[in-house]
């Protein structure tokens, strides 16, 4: 991934015009971006921020256009990461025009950020999206009147079908070319406008690199970034004193803080404009569905059913696909790869090590990617396009706040039971690094299907189903306690959930498939190289015999504290490649160490040891693909912290569990 500044420089250097695409979450912005660009995107992050920008170039008539898809947000403040990144990208990219996507079914709520863009003085075109849904509700919006009131072009669009997009881009090109033409803009109250004009006239001679009106409003809103910008100017201190004086005048007249008053003025203007251009909405079936899905009485059973389907599909369907794929690979692909490698490199250490990487390693990545990641992304895209995820977020928001999260975190957390990799990537729906760190930590503790295979194969099969269930109970209790603990010790607080009702609608399969492939392609490029390298390293350790030498330094922890045979500790190292390998390698390595009779694990491990083994394997950091995604999404410092935490937690929990079992004779 490029740095944000590098990506901006690259796209600006290869295009004629730059447009930014803005809008609230769930207004069809991503569908419009995908339709315009064909999804040939470059993703970028600002330093210290994990919220991504999507950038792409496209051709329109004789022009090469760069499109920057801003994070979906409700404002251009600096309250959350998505807002900060959206504003920073607008200011840094100096776009030739901005395209604002509005929800025609909820116009007043969407106009707030539109007014902020107008205040910034950037040439603007409005896409009045979801007009098909508005018509179903008998909402008739007078687009020409809306254009007159806003002072910018307004184009009705339907993102899912592409209706109106050509006209939208043409209007954006025209707005960019006629940048000097300034039309009338919406105005706030007379005294507010008078004070803004006073400050605007004061700022105009100094050229701070931003529209004077925009800077005046930002200073009155007490925006720290721009206060610092002005303060660094030779005349900055005098200017800021005048800002404070004007702000005190506004507060004295209106009886509230100036930033609050400006926000209230902007909301008031948005509501007034909306009431002038649209009629009353009529209730439709989707409104009733929203009521059913957000009411605890009906919404919770429905949510449990949906989550059950997701889990069953990922667990049972994923296992079936994974097993089928692995069998086909071992039957048809492995012999070809093994034969070619051994023919070229011989049957020595080098040849066998390469087989670990190019046979077992690629198989491990594909056996996770295709059955679990790809299928999860398909289901996630389906739920997104129907609008159901908004209902889920609203319904679970109160519970998630106990963990310092909000309702949008529930889907990634549940998806972790299928596979941790797509679940961690799914935390991008959260707005702050604090929330993403908490959610990702909890996801790594949730038993994925591979760890469930170890629980079932080592505990349920040889010890019984009750001890297997006990492992799940222990892990879920840890998830709950860790979530509460992280919420208390990590600086900051939950950003809260701000959202409007997004109408339910029938999704288009073409959009779902495009979104699924785009996300899966991202996983492939991130996870595959690390899995391949990890496989080669582990293979080299095994084939050269160095792996067995690791048993001695591990002995105090594995044998002394956890009460496990040394060979079990070795398999836990290998399990980082893929969790279910722990069980497979436990059998394989134990046969090497103890002979053929050790295939029945009870021949050399007691029921208590099997229980502790599965418990530790479940808690400590999952597979290398998950580690790779953690590093990419959170940065390697946070990923390392999560790995160290889960390993420590697994060792402490495993040792305590072993002693409790022995003391009370539970197994």
Q: What is the pLDDT of residue 323?
A: 75
Cβ distance 441 to 411 under 8 Å? no
Q: Categorize the per-residue pLDDT at 46 as very low, low, confident or very high, splitting at 50, 70 and 90.
A: very low
Could you give the percent of the chain with pLDDT greater than 90? 20
Q: What is the pLDDT of residue 154?
A: 94
Task: Record the pTM.
Answer: 0.61
- Distance between CA atoms of 186 and 172, rounded to whole angstroms? 20
pLDDT 10s digits, 255-284:
888 988 898 888 889 889 988 988 655 555
Cβ distance 168 to 90 under 8 Å? no
Cβ distance 435 to 495 under 8 Å? yes
Closest listed residue to residue 646, CA positions, set 622, 625, 621: 621
Q: Facing residues of 102 across strands?
A: 128
CATH architecture under which domain 2-177 falls: 3-Layer(aba) Sandwich (3.40)
SS3 percent helix, strand, coil of the chain, rounded to 5, is 70, 5, 25
Least confident of 46-50, 507-511, 637-641: 46-50
- Distance between CA atoms of 243 and 222, rounded to whole angstroms? 9
Alpha-carbon 154 to chain mean position: 31
- Distance between CA atoms of 318 and 14, rounded to whole angstroms? 43
Q: Is residue 38 pLDDT above 90, yes or no?
A: no
Q: What is the pLDDT of residue 47?
A: 45
- Distance between CA atoms of 199 and 186, rounded to whole angstroms? 18
Q: What is the pLDDT of residue 656?
A: 96
Q: What is the pLDDT of residue 305?
A: 87
Over range 346-350, report the average pLDDT: 86
- Strand order of the β-sheet with 52-60 is 2-3, 42-45, 52-60, 63-69, 17-23, 97-103, 124-129, 154-156
Sign of CA dihedral 418, 423, 425, 426: positive
Closest listed residue to residue 8, CA positions, set 58, 49, 46: 46
Q: Is residue 33 pLDDT above 90, yes or no?
A: no
Helix (H) or strand (E) holding 590: helix 581-594
Q: What is the pLDDT of residue 502?
A: 55
Cβ distance 444 to 642 under 8 Å? yes
Q: Is residue 242 pLDDT above 60, yes or no?
A: yes
Any alpha helices (H) in 462-508, and if so which ranges? Answer: 465-489
Of residues 529 and 174, more confidently modeled: 174
Residue range(s) of every CATH 1.10.287.1770 domain in the chain: 190-277
Q: Which two tokens stand for residue 624?
A: 């290398």
Report the half-sphere exposure of 338 (CA within 13 A, side-chain side). 12
Q: Which two tokens stand for residue 161?
A: 């079908």
Over range 599-624, report the average pLDDT: 85
Alpha-carbon 47 to chain mean position: 17
Of residues 63 and 515, more confidently modeled: 63
Closest listed residue to residue 65, CA positions, set 23, 21, 22: 21
Q: Is residue 190 pLDDT above 70, yes or no?
A: yes
Give the length of the chain.
667
pLDDT 10s digits, 298-331:
888 888 888 778 767 766 776 677 778 778 887 8
Q: Categorize the per-residue pLDDT at 470 as very low, low, confident or very high, splitting at 50, 70 and 90.
A: very high
Q: Which two tokens stand for residue 307?
A: 């989550």
Q: What is the DSSP letter of 647?
A: H
Of residues 203 and 496, more confidently modeled: 203
Assign 3-class secondary structure to 76-104: CCCCCHHHHHHHHHHHHHCCCEEEEEEEC
Closest listed residue to residue 667, CA positions, set 612, 597, 600: 612
- Distance between CA atoms of 380 and 607, rounded to whole angstroms? 39
Q: What is the pLDDT of residue 598?
A: 45
Of residues 424 and 601, more confidently modeled: 424
Q: Which fold has domain 190-277?
A: Helix Hairpins (1.10.287)
Q: What is the pLDDT of residue 605?
A: 85
Of the ranges 26-40, 84-98, 653-667, the best mean pLDDT one: 653-667
pLDDT 10s digits, 478-521:
999 999 999 999 887 655 554 455 557 677 787 788 777 876 77
Distances (CA, A) of 647 to 369, 441, 450, 478: 25, 12, 18, 13
Q: Is residue 560 pLDDT above 60, yes or no?
A: yes
Q: Is residue 425 pLDDT above 50, yes or no?
A: yes
Cβ distance 452 to 315 under 8 Å? yes
323: which residues sit within 8 A by CB, 6+ positions away?
Answer: none
């Amino acid at each position: 991934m490029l740095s944000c500044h590098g990506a901006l420089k690259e796209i600006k250097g290869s295009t004629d015009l730059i447009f930014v695409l803005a809008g609230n979450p769930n207004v069809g912005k991503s569908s419009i971006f995908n339709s315009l660009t064909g999804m040939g995107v470059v993703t970028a992050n600002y330093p210290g921020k994990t919220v991504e920008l999507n950038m792409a170039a496209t051709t329109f008539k004789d022009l090469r256009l760069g499109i920057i898809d801003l994070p979906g947000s409700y404002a251009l403040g600096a309250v959350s990461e998505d807002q900060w990144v959206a504003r920073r990208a607008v200011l840094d990219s100096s776009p030739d025009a901005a395209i604002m996507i509005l929800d025609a079914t909820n116009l007043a709520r969407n106009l707030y950020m539109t007014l902020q863009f107008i205040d910034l003085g950037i040439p603007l075109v409005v896409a009045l999206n979801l007009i098909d849904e508005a018509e179903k509700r008998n909402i008739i919006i007078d687009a020409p009147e809306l254009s007159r009131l806003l002072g910018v072009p307004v184009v009705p669009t339907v993102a899912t079908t592409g209706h109106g997009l050509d006209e939208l881009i043409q209007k954006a090109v025209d707005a960019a070319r006629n940048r000097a033409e300034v039309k009338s803009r919406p105005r706030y109250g007379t005294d507010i406008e008078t004070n803004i004009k006073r400050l605007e006239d004061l700022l105009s001679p100094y050229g701070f690199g931003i529209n004077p009106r925009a800077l005046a409003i930002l200073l009155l809103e007490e925006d720290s970034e721009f206060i610092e910008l002005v303060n660094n100017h030779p005349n900055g201190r005098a200017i800021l004193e005048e800002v404070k004086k004007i702000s005190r005048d506004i507060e004295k007249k209106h009886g509230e803080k100036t930033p609050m008053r400006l926000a209230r003025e902007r909301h008031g203007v948005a509501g007034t404009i909306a009431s002038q251009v649209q009629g009353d909405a009529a209730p439709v079936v989707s409104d009733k569905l929203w009521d059913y899905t957000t009411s605890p009485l009906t919404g919770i059973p429905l949510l449990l059913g949906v989550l059950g389907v997701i889990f069953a599909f990922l667990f049972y369907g994923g296992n079936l696909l994974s097993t089928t794929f692995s069998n086909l690979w071992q039957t048809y692909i492995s012999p070809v790869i093994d034969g070619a490698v051994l023919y070229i490199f011989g049957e020595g250490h080098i040849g066998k090590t390469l087989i670990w990487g190019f046979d077992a390693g690629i198989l491990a990545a594909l056996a996770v990617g295709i059955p679990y990641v790809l299928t999860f992304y398909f289901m996630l895209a389906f739920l997104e396009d129907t609008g159901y995820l908004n209902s889920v977020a609203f319904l679970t928001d109160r519970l998630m706040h106990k963990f310092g999260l909000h309702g949008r975190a529930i889907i990634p957390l549940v998806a972790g039971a299928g596979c941790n990799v797509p679940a961690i990537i799914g935390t991008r729906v959260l707005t702050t690094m604090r929330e993403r760190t908490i959610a990702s930590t909890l996801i790594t503790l949730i038993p994925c299907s591979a760890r469930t295979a170890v629980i079932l194969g080592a505990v349920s099969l040889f010890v019984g189903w009750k001890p297997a269930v006990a492992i799940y109970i222990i892990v879920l209790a840890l998830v709950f306690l860790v979530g509460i603990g992280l919420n208390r010790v990590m600086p900051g607080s939950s950003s809260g959930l701000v959202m409007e009702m997004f109408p339910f609608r029938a999704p288009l399969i073409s959009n779902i498939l495009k979104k699924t492939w785009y996300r899966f392609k991202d996983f492939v490029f991130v996870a595959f190289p690390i899995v391949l390298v990890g496989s080669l390293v582990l293979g080299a350790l095994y084939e050269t015999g160095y792996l067995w030498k690791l048993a001695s330094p591990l002995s105090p922890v594995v044998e002394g504290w956890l009460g496990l045979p040394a060979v079990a500790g070795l398999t836990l190292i290998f399990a980082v490649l893929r969790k279910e390998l722990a069980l497979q390698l436990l059998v394989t390595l134990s046969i090497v160490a103890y002979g053929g009779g050790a295939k029945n694990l009870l021949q050399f491990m007691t029921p208590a040891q099997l229980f502790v083994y599965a418990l530790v394997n479940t808690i400590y950091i999952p597979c290398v693909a998950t580690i790779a995604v953690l590093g990419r999404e959170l940065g390697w410092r946070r990923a390392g912290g999560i790995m160290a935490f889960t390993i420590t937690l697994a060792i402490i929990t495993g040792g305590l569990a072993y002693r409790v079992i022995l003391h009370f004779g539970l197994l």
